[in-house]
A and B are shown apart, each in its own frame.
Chain A
Amino acid sequence: MVSFSERLTVAPDVLFRLVGDEGVLLNLNTTLYLGLNPVGTRMWHALTSASSIQAAYNALLGEYEVEPAQLRADLEEFIQRLLGQKLIVAGPALDASHEPA
Chain B
Amino acid sequence: MTGVKDLLETATNGSFSLEAGGSRYRYGVYGMVVSSDTPLDLPSEADGGVARVECVSAPAMAFLAATDRGGYDGDTDSWYRYVVLGDGSTYVRWRTIGEFLVSADGRRVMFRRFDQASLESFQVYLLGQALSFALIRQGFEPLHATAVVVDRHAVAFLGSNAFGKSSLAACFLEAGARLLTDDLLILGESRNRIVAYPGPPRLKLFPKIARRFLGQDALNRVQMNPDTDKLILPIEEHRRQGRPVALDAIYALTPPRDACRVPSVRVESLSPREAFLELLKGTFNRRLTNQPRLQRQFGLMARLTNRVAVKKLSYPRSIDRLAEVREAVRADLVRDACPALNNQPGILD
Contacts and interface: CB of A to CB of B under 8 A. Distances in A.
A28 B294 contact: yes
Contacts of B225: none
Interface in A30-65: 31, 33, 35-37
A26 B298 contact: yes
B336 to A, nearest CB: 16
A31 B271 contact: no
Closest 7 CB pairs of A and B: A20-B272, A19-B272, A35-B273, A22-B273, A17-B302, A19-B305, A26-B298
Task: State which size class the interface on B falls in.
Answer: 10 to 19
B276 interface: yes
The size bracket of the interface on A is 10 to 19
Contact of B277 (A15, A21, A33): A33
A15 B300 CA distance: 13
Interface in A54-95: none
A23 B294 contact: no
B324 interface: no
Given A19-B305, A20-B305, A20-B306, A28 B273 contact: no
7 contacts: A17-B299, A19-B306, A20-B271, A22-B272, A31-B294, A35-B273, A37-B273
Contacts of B289: 31
A40 to B, nearest CB: 9
B275 interface: yes
A2 interface: no
A33 B302 CA distance: 12
Given A15-B295, A17-B276, 4 more contacts: A19-B272, A22-B273, A35-B273, A35-B276
Interface string B282-304: 00000001010011001100100
Contact of B295 (A18, A21, A28): A28
B274 A35 contact: yes
Nearest to A35: B273
B246 to A, nearest CB: 21
A15 B272 contact: no
A52 to B, nearest CB: 28
B267 interface: no
B280 interface: yes
B89 to A, nearest CB: 22
A21 B294 contact: no
Contact of A28 (B277, B280, B291): B291
Interface centre among A13, A19, A22 (most CB of B within 10 A): A19
A20 B306 CA distance: 7
Contacts of B306: 19-20
Interface in A2-30: 13, 15, 17-24, 26, 28
A22 B305 CA distance: 11
B275 A19 contact: yes
